[in-house]
Amino acid sequence: MKALIFEHFGGPEVLRYADLPDPELEPGTVWVRMKAIGLNFADIYRRRGDYHLAGQAPYILGYEGAGIVERVAEDVKTVEVGDRIAFADVPYANAELVKVGIDHIIPLPDDITFEQSAALLLQGLTAHYLVNDSYSVQPGDEIVIHAAAGGVGQLLTQLAKAKGARVLGLTSSPAKREAALSAGADEVLLYDSDWANAAIRWSYDGQGVNAVYDSVGSTLMGSFKATKIKGSVVFYGMAGGNPPHIDPRMLMDTSKTLTGGDLWNHIVTRSNRVERSEKLFEAIRQGHLKMEEPKSFPLREGAEAHRLLESRSSTGKILLIP
């Protein structure tokens, strides 16, 4: 099979398209012929060496994608050859063939394309647990969303709006501001403004917002400033650098809540994974989720896709197509 591989850590130039043996079909697994693969910042972090990688080189990136079942192990009875499936947490996805354990399989409805699911699932499942589990958004809530033009940010905005919230987005450029507004944000501020005080003024009562979803990290103190007394800050990423240390006495004095979030603590069973995915697919059908057309690159041109994502000049999702 063909795969996008790298043998040492570094920039996009370390990636190359090469021939590798087909994966070994083990009990409880299937082979999936990939049709679309989602590219995520975690792939960049792994390529750079920021995230730990198990095993030995050559390494294959990728955890998210969709395709057609090509072969099943003898003990697999719930999946058949020819089934359309997707996944959000299976390693070595940057290849023509991927071995997928049955617990990680998400059945793909006929009305959802391979490209839609590969662009949706990892970021969509993240947005879903954020608005339902980390802080349960209620009608009338006022919410601040960091990186509102990004993949998670746009989906998070739409899910919060579907729950009846008023949303203030934060972005780094005028172009990204327009993308966040198109996703449904009621207002969008730029990071080079005094956004924390502006968020307080934007709130109806002038006391701050109910919750802030912070994926930047270095902005955490501004997020607390923008949040009203008894409000919540959800910290789920640090794209802008490490967060400052938080004094618990500040939380006590203001009755504010700080909570963390990681997707893999929220989808721990196949039933939960499938249930949340079906809710995302239904949100697409109902028009609650409208996804920006993803940018697609052939898998062999994966280095160019990495350069685009790493530049932070893109909005929406980037796909790799075998």
Cβ-contact 130, 267 below 8 angstroms: no
Looking at residue 52, its pLDDT comes to 75
Looking at residue 139, its pLDDT comes to 98
pLDDT tens-digit map of 297-311: 999 999 999 999 988
94 pLDDT tier (thresholds 50, 70, 90)? very high
Q: In what order do the strands lie in the sheet with 16-19?
A: 16-19, 2-6, 59-60
195 pLDDT tier (thresholds 50, 70, 90)? very high
Cβ-contact 132, 153 below 8 angstroms: no
Report d(CA 121, CA 304) in Å as an integer: 23
Worst-scoring range by mean pLDDT, 12-21, 49-58, 111-120? 49-58
- DSSP string of 53-84? --S-SSEE---EEEEEEEEE-TT--S--TT-E
Calculate the average pLDDT of the chain.
94
- H helices, E strands: number in the chain: 9, 16
Name which of 252, 255, 154, 244 is nearest 207 in CA terms: 255
Report d(CA 103, CA 149) in Å as an integer: 32
241 pLDDT tier (thresholds 50, 70, 90)? confident
Please report the domains of the chain, with CATH numbers, ordered by start residue.
2-120+267-321 (3.90.180.10), 139-260 (3.40.50.720)
Q: Note if the pTM is more than 0.85.
A: yes
pLDDT tens-digit map of 6-17: 999 999 999 999
